[in-house]
């Protein structure tokens, strides 16, 4: 593996060097697919010397002259933390970076050579490490696995959530929460298991009879929410219990149903392997779900095809909302997913470029400086 890493780094460095040379010497014009405009260096006004310009921090200025004439030269230890390296070996922890910096001073072979080739640039001395050893200790670390944001227990990047009471960080998956819960958790002062109090009575005791919301992880005593026993399966607190389709905060929707309960629906994932939580519906809306009447893009249920403006996708072919969930292309209607996969190929690029050429030929104004 180490040998492959070295080879890949070497290859990348060669490519970078060639790319840097080319963008300075040959590719002076460029076409931006995002803004659909042609960029070229113009010599209106004075070109500022490097000392008078602010250095961009993007590792490679994307287009020559477009964003900056001078870009920051990264030291080899800084480059270690950049995407090529993370792909090869997983993200570096702050300690590793600091330790690397020490070794790097003698062993300056790999990637730095690539960016150092631009003739106008002089190599900066290695003074500006992204993470210095002092602040490395202050980096938040998960209280379960001791990893930072860059590395959870499986070695993958994962955000940390911080307890609003004791300020201890943890990875959601290290404490049996899902990544889907992060938005809800960050929307209030979340408490870790050690600090958890009942959101109704504020009492931290009687943990045995406390239940936790499967959306936001708030804790409640069962008797504080009018339950007799710990419910089986999912449970949503009153902050999070809302019908995914009609928005009702009552499990009976707008009907009079006695003892109505929230209906949690699950759906097989893409590989048809695992059932995953899909949404929560009120009893009236859930009737339609049970008949499989739901839009395959936004997952909201529909009462009938004409009433809710449903159309059939030419690709999958499933029913989706005409507005918002499907797109008309060449007089055929595709759901957002099918549209995306049809258009994410090189086909799009060739189309855009063809259109650009046409525009250029007709002389439409698309020149920008």
**Which stretch in 37-45, 164-172, 226-234, 348-356 sits in contact with Zn ion by CB under 5 A?**
164-172
| Number of Cβ atoms within 10 Å of the Cβ of 247 | 10
Smallest separation (angstroms) from Zn ion to the CB of 3 = 31
Q: Are 266 and 277 in contact (CB under 8 A)?
A: yes
**Which stretch in 51-59, 125-133, 337-345, 354-362 sits in contact with Zn ion by CB under 5 A?**
337-345
Of 115, 161, 295, 310, the one binding Zn ion by CB under 5 A = 295
Q: Which of 158, 139, 136 is nearest to 149 (CA)?
A: 158
Of 61, 71, 111, 297, the one binding Zn ion by CB under 5 A = 297
Interaction of residue 298 with Zn ion, rule CB under 5 A: yes
Interaction of residue 88 with Zn ion, rule CB under 5 A: no
Q: Which is nearer to Zn ion, 78 or 286 (CB)?
A: 286
Interaction of residue 240 with Zn ion, rule CB under 5 A: yes
Smallest separation (angstroms) from Zn ion to the CB of 285 = 3
Q: Cβ contacts of residue 341 below 8 Å, gap of 6+?
A: none
The position carrying tokens 């607190």 is: 237
**Which stretch in 89-97, 128-136, 322-330, 357-365 sits in contact with Zn ion by CB under 5 A?**
322-330
**What is the pairing mode between strands 275-281 and 263-268?**
antiparallel
- The count of residues interacting with Zn ion (CB under 5 A) is 39
Smallest separation (angstroms) from Zn ion to the CB of 17 = 39
Smallest separation (angstroms) from Zn ion to the CB of 182 = 13
Smallest separation (angstroms) from Zn ion to the CB of 232 = 18
Smallest separation (angstroms) from Zn ion to the CB of 75 = 30
- Taking the C-alpha atoms of residue 356 and residue 135, their distance in angstroms, rounded to an integer, is 49
- In the window 183-212, what residues touch Zn ion (CB under 5 A)? 192, 195, 198, 200-201
Q: Cβ contacts of residue 5 below 8 Å, gap of 6+?
A: 88, 89
Interaction of residue 94 with Zn ion, rule CB under 5 A: no
Q: Per-residue x/- mask for Zn ion, residues 34 to 73, rule CB under 5 A?
A: ----------------------------------------
Q: Which is nearer to Zn ion, 129 or 282 (CB)?
A: 282
3-state secondary structure of 187: coil
Q: Per-residue x/- mask for Zn ion, residues 243 to 272, rule CB under 5 A?
A: x-xx-x----x-------------------
Smallest separation (angstroms) from Zn ion to the CB of 219 = 8
Concatenating the DSSP letter of every residue in 75-138 gives PHHHHHTSHHHHHHH-PPPHHHHHHHHHHHTT---STHHHHTT-TT--PPPTT--SS-HHHHTT
Q: Cβ contacts of residue 174 below 8 Å, gap of 6+?
A: 142, 144, 145, 152, 153
Interaction of residue 283 with Zn ion, rule CB under 5 A: no
- In the window 106-145, what residues touch Zn ion (CB under 5 A)? 142, 144-145
Of 181, 222, 224, 242, the one binding Zn ion by CB under 5 A = 224
Of 101, 129, 313, 327, the one binding Zn ion by CB under 5 A = 313
Q: Which residues make up the interface to Zn ion (CB under 5 A)?
A: 142, 144-145, 163, 165-166, 171, 174, 192, 195, 198, 200-201, 213, 215-216, 218, 221, 224, 237, 239-240, 243, 245-246, 248, 253, 282, 285, 295, 297-298, 313, 315-316, 321, 325, 335, 338
């Amino acid at each position: 593996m180490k040998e492959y890493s070295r080879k890949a780094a070497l290859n990348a460095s060669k490519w970078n060097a060639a790319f840097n040379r080319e963008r300075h010497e040959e590719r002076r014009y460029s076409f931006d697919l995002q803004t659909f405009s042609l960029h070229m260096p113009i010599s209106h006004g004075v070109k500022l010397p490097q000392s008078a310009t602010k250095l961009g921090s993007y590792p490679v200025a994307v287009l020559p002259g477009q964003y900056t004439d001078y870009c920051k030269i990264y030291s080899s230890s800084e480059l270690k933390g950049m995407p090529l390296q993370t792909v090869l070996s997983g993200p570096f922890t702050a300690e590793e970076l600091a330790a690397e910096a020490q070794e790097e001073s003698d062993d300056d072979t790999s990637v730095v050579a690539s960016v150092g080739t631009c003739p106008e640039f002089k190599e900066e001395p290695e003074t500006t490490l992204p993470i210095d050893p002092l602040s490395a200790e202050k980096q938040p670390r998960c209280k379960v696995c001791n990893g930072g944001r860059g590395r959870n227990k499986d070695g993958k990047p994962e955000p940390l959530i911080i307890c609003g009471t004791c300020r201890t960080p943890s990875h959601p998956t290290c404490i049996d929460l899902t990544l889907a819960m992060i938005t809800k958790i960050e929307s209030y002062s979340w408490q870790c298991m050690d600090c958890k109090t009942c959101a109704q009575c504020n009492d931290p005791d009687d943990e045995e009879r406390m239940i936790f919301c499967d959306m936001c992880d708030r804790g409640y005593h069962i008797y504080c929410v009018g339950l007799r026993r710990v419910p089986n399966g999912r449970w949503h607190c009153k902050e999070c219990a809302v019908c995914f389709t009609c928005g009702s905060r009552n499990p009976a929707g707008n009907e009079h149903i006695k003892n109505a309960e929230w209906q949690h629906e699950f759906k097989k994932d893409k590989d048809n392997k695992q059932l995953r939580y899909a949404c929560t519906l009120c009893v009236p809306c859930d009737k339609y779900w049970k008949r499989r009447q739901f839009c395959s893009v936004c997952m909201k249920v529909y009462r009938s095809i004409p009433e809710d403006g449903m159309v059939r996708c030419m690709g999958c072919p499933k029913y989706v909302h005409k507005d918002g969930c499907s797109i008309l292309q060449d007089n055929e209607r595709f759901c957002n997913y099918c549209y995306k996969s049809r258009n994410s190929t090189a086909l799009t690029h060739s189309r855009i470029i063809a259109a650009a050429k046409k525009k250029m030929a007709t002389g439409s104004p698309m020149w920008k400086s």
